[in-house]
Amino acid sequence: MDRLDALQLFTRIVEVQSFSRAADMLDIPRATATYAIKELEARLGTRLLERTTRQVRPTLDGQAFYERCVQVLSELDDAEASLRHVASNPRGVLRVDMHGTHATRIVLARIDEFRHRYPNVELVVSSGDRLVDLVREGVDCVIRAGNPRDSSLVARRLASMPQVICASGDYLARHGTPEHPDELADHQAVRFFASGAAADYPFELVVDGAIREYAVGGWMSVNDAENNVVCALRGCGLIQVPRFHVEDELRDGRLVEVLARWASPEMVVSALYPYRRQLSPRVRVFVDWLCELYEERFGAR
């Protein structure tokens, strides 16, 4: 029995003046209760209870110790109640970093709903694709696409988003429409790279049951998802992006899907946060809300 349980047992024995009744109330064997009190007295170096055949009473030291125990256990209950209140009504500043597209088209488009639910949380939102040092920069949570590589972070999957390869009608009229993934080598892409990284992201397609990568050349490189789409609309080349990002352009014909016979791997989106903030009420309610938001938009994870 740990020290806290022993204190709770001791106070209960004093209050009901019986080992047996206290043990029954705490659903423990009488022998366990007796042994726990003996250990407690031995650790404190004093006798706490006077036992007779009819009742149990505290000694003078026991009475003084009982009064302190009642105070300590009461403060613990107050602390737990306070945390339960904070968990349901969190407050304070929450710093979040996310790609601009996720900010403008998904999260911030519904952020008033989060504010209505948690009015005491103050949000500070930054956008970009650079790698953020969450601990050093004091960021509580980031939203990132792709499989998380940093094992020091807690990753909670938000969605698996379908992707599409597409281009403008003007580009396809000038360069032709690829009919097979192998033809991508003869085309141009709006190349996408992460800040601080020299490597481009290749196109990926599921061919014969396996994911294959296709390097596609091009004269335009960007590191922002919105700029990626703008360049595609201006005929700069093919792009591979989450379908939700270009659904309006595909619907009205400004962009045309190609290679639809071959599936693009879905893009995983996750919320990442440091282990030290895993139990933060602000982070927990925000990530829970993100999960609801992304599931409503993209279906179950």
Query: Cα dihedral angle (78, 83, 85, 90), rounded to 10 degrees?
Result: 150
Length of the chain: 301
CATH class of the domain comprising 163-258: alpha beta
Tokens of 14: 């004093």
- 96-157+275-298: CATH topology is D-Maltodextrin-Binding Protein; domain 2 (3.40.190)
User: Measuring CA to CA, how many Å separate 82 from each of 78, 79, 188, 253?
Assistant: 6, 5, 59, 56
Does 163-258 match 3-88 at the fold level? no
Given a contact cutoff of 8 angstroms between Cβ atoms, the answer to whether 269 and 102 are in contact is: yes
Domain ranges of the chain: 3-88, 96-157+275-298, 163-258
Render pLDDT for 180-205 as a digit per residue (tens, 0 to 9): 999 999 999 999 887 655 557 899 99
- Assessment of whether the complete model's pTM goes beyond 0.85: no
CATH number of the 3-88 domain = 1.10.10.10
Which residues lie below 8 Å from residue 22, measured CB to CB, with a gap of 6+? 9, 12, 13, 15, 16, 33
Which residues lie below 8 Å from residue 228, measured CB to CB, with a gap of 6+? 190, 192, 222, 239, 241
Nearest one of 158, 165, 146 to 241, comparing CA atoms: 165
pLDDT over 90 for what percent of the chain? 53
> What is the distance between the alpha carbons of residues 273 and 156, in angstroms, rounded to a whole number?
9
CA torsion through residues 148, 154, 160, 164, sign: negative
- Give me the pLDDT at residue 149, please: 67
Render pLDDT for 23-60 as a digit per residue (tens, 0 to 9): 888 889 989 999 999 999 999 999 999 987 778 899 99
Q: Is the pLDDT of residue 276 over 70?
A: no
DSSP 224-245: -HHHHHHHHHTT--BEEEEHHH
